[in-house]
Structure 1
Amino acid sequence: MGVPWDDAVLIEKGKKPGEPYVITVNCPDKTGLGCDICHTILEFGLYITKGDVSTDGLWCYVVLWVIPRDSSSRAVRWVRLKERLLSICPSYTPSFYLNQQSTNASSSPVYLLKFCSLDRKGLLHDVTQVFDELDLTIQRVKVTTAPDGRVLDLFFITDNLALLHTKERQNETCEQLYTVLGESCISCDLQLAGPQYDNSPGISSLSPHVSEELFRCTISDNEIHSQVLSPDFNELKRASVKTDNTLSPAHTLLQINCVDHKGFLYDIMRTLKDCNIQIAYGRFSPVNKGLRELDLFIRYKDGKKIVDPEKQDVLCSRLKLELLHPLRVLIIDRGPDTELLISNPVELSGRGRPRVFYDVTFALKSLGICIFSAKIGRHSTENREWEVYSFLLDENCRFQLSSKAVRNQIVDKVRRSLMGW
């Protein structure tokens, strides 16, 4: 009969100060549920220290120990987190067992928030932090700075609370922006997005060399590349991904060992979800000397083990790529301007990685670099779709942006912010 629905998700505070919160999810199973849970936890700025997952194919039981990513993170809204986790749990009504093909909830409407303000350092990050606190998700953005120092920001956003159609919620959003921006905010307008959202331009054309750097699907054995360096050592860290079919008659054992990073479990779960692979049992061990180890018993959605050696190699290679190359960071010259580009793969469901814009603007604010313009778009390659973030950096800062050393410093700072190092 299941459990009372309010108890499908339980969040317990640690017994002592500083101890992790324990999140327990006890609900019907579905392919990709682990990915959805990890995506939500990452979106709320939490870090999974360890965890256990088990399922019999119909019902799953997930226990995760989580802590805020750092002491400067905003206060976690635990009640709201529980509501979000409940919203992704499949219903356990009898109809679920008669037809396990879950229906996706209708996508949230997109709203256009347009505001004009005077430019200053950290402006975009402060705005992004307001959205984060209000549970608003940025879908696309276009930011431009006029010669007179005024900034016109166009944010296409969705509301995780599904209340942005109300006047109260709209007023709350604009009032929060006015409070944070102060006298620098000139105007603020919020309305339902029209055709301008579907017709909004994506990322400008990229050269073959830049495309290769941002969207590569392989990593050469001899490649020494800044994207896959460990956080503390100037050496290449390899991910170890192995499969074993001898320990279970019904499942394939997947063993993973790699340098830990922000979104580590999410990157694994979204890859398995996109490959239509279910997890029957998994244990996520605590980090040991910067390394994370996982043991996952997996199988295809149809219940079959992964026995084909070629398919095993494809899965292991893809997981290695996602663990070593989850995000790509690059600085290029765009005419007379300096452009910072970040790309990350989009799930097959069309959902992008959470908090990328937040982390990048935080890194640039920390460096004291102003953003002249910013854009979020999508780019499709032969194999997959990518989310691309483009930032034109303001040359009027304390850094000489044409310097190779300065550019390396910016890339390193942004990459560490994204990876949680």
Structure 2
Amino acid sequence: MGVIRRERRTFLGMPPWPERAVVARTLRTETAGGLILLMAAAVALIWANTPWGASYARIRDLHFGIPAIGLDLSLRHWTAEGLLTIFFLVAGIELKRELVTGELRSRAVATLPVVAAVGGMVVPAAVYLSITAVGGGSTAGWAVPMATDIAFALAVLAVLGAHLPSAMRAFLLTLAVVDDLGAILVIAVFFPTGINPAALAGAAAGLVVFFLLQRHRVGGWWWYVPLGLTIWALTYNGGVHATVAGIAMGLILRTRPDQRVGEDASPGERAEHLLRPVSAGIAVPLFAVFAAGVSVSAPALGAVFTRPEPLGVVLGLVIGKTVGIFTGTWLACRFTRAKLNPDLTWSDVFALAVLAGIGFTVALLIGELAFTDSGQAEHVKAAVLTGSLLAAAMAALLLKRRNGIYRRLWEAEDRDQDAAGVPDVYQRDGAETPRHRRRRMR
């Protein structure tokens, strides 16, 4: 236990082995999903800017569903309110795990990533509002530059071949998890449409039933899938963005197995194992296909840097995110007396802050909600793409400069010469191997 306490007093120090193993599994899936996401965004951009662009618009706006129960949506809205619910369900499970067993379970340990994430949401919004105030633009898009897209960021790292040590990747993941919670709160509070109290009451009742099923250890997908779909439909008809239902159910799912009922894995773990590949490989890329198809003509790109709303988004992502996360992290370290990992420098934290300026999936979603005028919405989408690409390019330069050091730390963390299934550095520090744990449990 003493080793773990020393590690946690070191900011960006090596995380405990169980947390590192969970983070590594998560990031592998997100990295693969991020590469698919990049390809999906490229397909959308090319398709929308070819002579076949009209077919893209027709397919995107194709309506289908069940009008009798209020579910007659366009294909774009099915991906935004339907498939993205899976993304937020996984995010909710991830957040629950962090709160119960991960970095956010201790208030002292959670201070750094939470303060950094809050800074990374508040400062971009302030930058946007400042730009639109000076330029006389609309304040409706203040929340667009607030979110970090972890999949896109990890895809950039994969393309670069950057070998970030596990602590840096875990910090980036935690930032994105807190960002997701902030984004869903913003969507729920600031972007409701035509509130229907009866439908929302039904959704709330469904969540209570969901909670009771979990509390009484009721298993079986045949309970949860129909109930989850009902909660989702009632949330949508209640006038609140349907993705809120996803994160609510994710937060309710248990993330600790109950040995008394013979569980090898918790319901949250099983759901995440099944749904994360669907989220990363299907839901988010399909959303990107129907959200990222914007015009890249000279007038459209010119509007990004001349109109206050898109300019506010670009500067919010590139400057606001960097300043907010870096300053928040430095202040949290300063006042909690946390010590930076001696193998790293504050320039590494700065590079992470720049990388967190990649805000793609949730930023596009909020942009669609904030701007009902199609022209403004297209300009803001172009701004999200531009800002994310600028942040990615700047982060690439900063991270490549130190990639030799990152590779050395990464190789030291992964070295397993005795093939015990746990890196040697953890065994030297007294961490349990799976073999030791099984022997002790007998």
Select the structure that is richer in strand: 1
Select the structure that is richer in helix: 2
Answer yes or no: same fold by TM over 0.5. no
TM-score by length of 2: 0.23
Indicate the structure whose relative CO is greater, using CA pairs within 8 Å and at least 6 residues apart.
Answer: 2
TM-score by length of 1: 0.24
